[in-house]
């Protein structure tokens, strides 16, 4: 399946990469600016630079275009991503550039890398309760279904449901895959204080806010192996291909299509 094929199944598609480090990243003004200026030299349209309150920095293109690149420096993580990329290669090229730059511009050696993440994410615009949609689409025929039935009265409904799972792909556990489906309309969790009024108010906001989206994310994480020097570029290529394969073979038929069908059914009722 091509990137166009994947993008056509959702409202927004993301390809992200994160280099997670053991030590904190440099905070010097000259170092930070030199790094982002080198990124901007490669991608001149990345002209929006800003700093968060927690001293994290980001350079990105204009988000209003709907298709944009971004690169971020956090305390112990370097992030790079493309929102709604034109093709796989254009997103991968940006990731390779960042991996090429971090050793000599940020001092991130292979010894300093805790893990490398490649993430494919999808957003699905959805009105109403995301938790109910996720539960019905992904767990309707499972043992959990007994908890979703309104056996305790007509008011019984799912109010919190964002499943995730991590699977070790390699025998030594150094390569892992995490699949998560996130609700943006979860209400009060068990153990928290909340009233029926809180529930009603939140439910109304969920229904009326068109910007809410269910997010599905597949992350392939690679940890360094004890017996070899970590080569981030080599593993990046491997993780990208693996993410493509898992998305097409497993995530689309078993997660994406059921979500799409359930969202469509909810809209028609």
What is the full DSSP assignment across 126-158? --S-HHHHHHHHHHTTSTTHHHHS-TT-TT---
- CA pair distance 153, 151, nearest whole angstrom: 5
Print the domain residue range for 70.
Answer: 3-124+222-267
Give me the pLDDT at residue 149, please.
Answer: 62
Give me the pLDDT at residue 54, please.
Answer: 84
Give me the pLDDT at residue 131, please.
Answer: 86
Give me the pLDDT at residue 239, please.
Answer: 98
Q: Please give the tally of structural domains in the chain.
A: 1
- Establish if 40 belongs to a structural domain: yes
Confidence (pTM)? 0.87
Give me the pLDDT at residue 198, please.
Answer: 41
- Establish if 144 belongs to a structural domain: no
Give me the pLDDT at residue 90, please.
Answer: 94
- CA pair distance 75, 221, nearest whole angstrom: 19
**Residues of the chain whose pLDDT is less than 70?**
142-156, 186-211, 269
Give me the pLDDT at residue 92, please.
Answer: 98
- Establish if 98 belongs to a structural domain: yes
Residue 78, C-beta contacts closer than 8 angstroms, at least 6 positions apart: 18, 19, 21, 25, 71, 72, 98, 102, 106, 108
- Establish if 66 belongs to a structural domain: yes
- Establish if 241 belongs to a structural domain: yes
Give me the pLDDT at residue 200, please.
Answer: 39
């Amino acid at each position: 399946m091509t990137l166009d094929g994947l993008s056509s199944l959702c409202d927004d598609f993301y390809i992200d990469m994160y280099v997670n480090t053991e030590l904190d990243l440099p905070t010097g003004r000259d170092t930070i600016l030199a790094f982002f200026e080198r990124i901007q030299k490669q991608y001149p349209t990345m002209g929006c630079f800003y700093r968060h309150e927690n001293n994290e920095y980001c350079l990105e293109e204009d988000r209003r275009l709907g298709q944009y690149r971004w690169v971020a420096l956090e305390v112990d993580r370097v992030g790079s991503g493309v929102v709604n990329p034109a093709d796989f290669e254009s997103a991968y090229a940006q990731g390779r550039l960042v991996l090429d730059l971090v050793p000599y511009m940020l001092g991130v050696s292979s010894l300093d890398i805790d893990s490398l993440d490649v993430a494919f994410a999808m957003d699905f615009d959805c009105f109403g309760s995301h938790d109910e949609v996720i539960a019905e689409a992904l767990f309707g025929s499972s043992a959990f279904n007994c908890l979703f039935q309104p056996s305790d009265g007509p008011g019984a409904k799912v109010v919190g449901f964002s499943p995730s799972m991590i699977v070790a792909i390699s025998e030594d556990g150094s390569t892992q895959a995490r699949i998560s489906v996130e609700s943006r309309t979860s209400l009060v969790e068990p153990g928290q204080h909340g009233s029926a009024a809180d529930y009603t108010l939140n439910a109304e906001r969920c229904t009326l806010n068109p910007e809410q989206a269910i997010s599905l994310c597949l992350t392939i994480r690679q940890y360094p192996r004890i017996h070899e020097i970590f080569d981030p570029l080599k593993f990046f290529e491997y993780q990208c291909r693996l993410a493509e394969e898992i998305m097409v073979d497993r995530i689309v038929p078993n997660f994406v299509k059921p979500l799409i069908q359930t969202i469509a059914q909810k809209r028609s009722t």
